[in-house]
């Protein structure tokens, strides 16, 4: 019985090697192979936004590698798209108009030989950048404005925001450029420090990586909103586990952390350990039954109408402050909610939720600069404005950055800063 089993294993191994060798031989290129493959046949296409999808029958060549499509645009730039021999379709993008285009479709083998091209005349649907332009939405913010857009094809685009204003008799003109491939995006032009009496003129143009560009779209004139940083001198933090309206204050004095640090106007750096730390005791103060959610409750010392918040995370990234440290990860808060106390209903009223996005493509030092600047959020992000007047503000930590914002293990926060205006 053991002998039979032994021979069976050897036979399976030999068959595996044989199949692998045959497959390797199929894909093996030879330096003296100069015979091109057959062309794809029965080539048809389906129009897409800013592109087309080709369908075809693959040629019966044993060393076939891929099917490619190539076209040259009006600026004499050539673009090539490729699809593996495993599939029977190929997407081609980058068309800037709904006119006819000539595209060559051909097969390529392992030796790099190309078949005779199949020339196909195609007519794509509306270009991707045109659809982005149609979705542009401009809104004023506090000392800033922002632009929303939709890019359902998730193509790489550049959005150029040209804006100008006149201040103290001098005209100022600037351009901000944002690159994106997200299906939905929002970008801010910040720190303008203009009053509502200083209108801003805005034009926007969009380009893509294929050289297509839109005409500038005049978005009109907007007046920015105005607020001030709310002074912290009179702020007060209830003690841990003291309840305001049935909500307990978080325990923030774990390990090196101290709850009072979140309102002292000093951010955490590698040399000062200026942050709060719940030590996994945040949910109900001193009862150790889980991390989150936990609440930081602030008595503002007077009545204010709130407009926005800036939060700064724990850094602890070394004495030189040149490494990312814990920014946008580790024990920091990635998602939080905001509440105000409404005297008219004698209860907490939900304002909004904010998710702090993790920056991409930054160097270590750029991470530090962004983290130290803090992350701003509006109280009402879709339609910026002021909250109802309130004396109490509640920051409710919901999730950490970890596990793609799914884990309840955020323990730390460095600073909370609020903006708004004094209530009448």
Architecture of domain 128-222: Sandwich (2.60)
Predicted confidence band of residue 282 (pLDDT cuts 50, 70, 90) = low
Per 3-state DSSP, the chain is made up of helix, strand and coil in percentages (nearest 5) of 10, 45, 45
| 289 pLDDT higher than 70 | no
Nearest residue to 268 via CA among 278, 253, 258, 254: 258
Same fold flag, 41-122 and 128-222: yes
Specify the pLDDT at position 251.
94
Q: Per-residue pLDDT for 81 more than 80? A: yes
Per residue in 1-34, is it b (16+ CB within 10 Å) or e — as a string?
eeeeeeeeeeeeeeeeeeeeeeeeeeeeeeeeee
**Mean pLDDT across the stretch 25-46?**
77
Residue 134 host element (H or E)? helix 128-135
Is pLDDT at 6 greater than 70 in this prediction? no
pLDDT over threshold 50, residue 35: yes
Q: Where are the domains of the chain?
A: 41-122, 128-222, 228-422
Q: Token digits for 72?
A: 């040259």
In this prediction, residue 266 has a pLDDT band, given cuts at 50, 70 and 90, of: very high
| CATH code, 228-422 | 2.60.120.260
Please determine, for residue 354, whether its predicted confidence score (pLDDT) is greater than 80. Answer: yes
Residue 74, pLDDT score: 83
Alpha carbon 403 to chain centroid, angstroms: 16
Average pLDDT of the segment spanning 99-117:
94
Fold adopted by 41-122:
Immunoglobulin-like (2.60.40)
pLDDT (average), residues 349-355: 98
């Amino acid at each position: 019985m053991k002998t039979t089993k032994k021979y069976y294993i050897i036979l399976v191994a030999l068959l595996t090697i044989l199949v692998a060798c045959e497959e390797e031989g199929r894909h093996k290129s030879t330096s003296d192979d100069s015979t091109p493959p057959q062309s794809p046949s029965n080539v048809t296409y389906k129009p897409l936004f800013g592109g087309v999808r080709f369908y075809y029958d693959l040629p019966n060549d044993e060393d076939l590698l891929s099917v490619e499509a190539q076209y040259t645009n009006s600026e004499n730039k050539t673009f090539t798209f490729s699809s593996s021999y495993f599939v029977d379709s190929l997407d081609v993008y980058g068309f800037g108009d709904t006119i006819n285009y000539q595209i060559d479709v051909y097969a390529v083998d392992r030796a790099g030989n190309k078949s005779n091209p199949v020339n196909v005349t195609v007519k794509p649907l509306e270009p991707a950048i045109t659809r982005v332009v149609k979705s542009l939405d401009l809104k004023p913010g506090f000392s800033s404005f922002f632009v929303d857009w939709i890019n359902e094809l998730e193509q790489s685009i550049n959005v150029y925001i040209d804006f100008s204003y006149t201040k103290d008799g001098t005209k100022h003109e600037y351009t901000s450029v944002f690159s994106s491939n997200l299906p939905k995006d929002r970008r801010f032009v910040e720190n303008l420090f203009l009053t509502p009496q200083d209108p801003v003129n805005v034009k926007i143009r969009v380009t893509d990586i294929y050289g297509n560009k839109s005409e500038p779209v005049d978005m009109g004139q907007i007046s920015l909103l105005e607020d001030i940083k709310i002074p912290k001198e009179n702020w007060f933090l209830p003690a841990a586990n003291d309840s305001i309206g049935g909500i307990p204050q978080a325990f923030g004095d774990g390990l090196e952390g101290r709850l009072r640090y979140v309102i002292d106007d000093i951010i955490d750096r590698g040399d000062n350990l200026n942050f709060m730390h719940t030590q996994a005791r945040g949910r109900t103060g001193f009862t150790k039954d889980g991390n989150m959610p936990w609440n930081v409750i602030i008595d503002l010392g007077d009545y204010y109408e709130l407009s926005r918040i800036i939060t700064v995370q724990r850094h602890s990234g070394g004495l030189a402050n040149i490494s990312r440290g814990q920014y946008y990860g580790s024990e920091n808060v990635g998602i939080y909610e905001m509440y105000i106390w409404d005297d008219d209903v004698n209860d907490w009223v939900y304002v909004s939720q904010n998710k702090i996005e993790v920056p991409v493509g930054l160097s270590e030092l750029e991470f530090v600069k962004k983290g130290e600047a803090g992350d701003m959020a509006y109280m009402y992000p879709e339609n910026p404005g002021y909250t109802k007047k309130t004396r109490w503000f509640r920051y409710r930590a919901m999730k950490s950055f970890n596990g793609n914002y799914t884990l309840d293990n955020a323990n730390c926060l460095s600073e909370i800063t609020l903006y708004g205006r004094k209530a009448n």
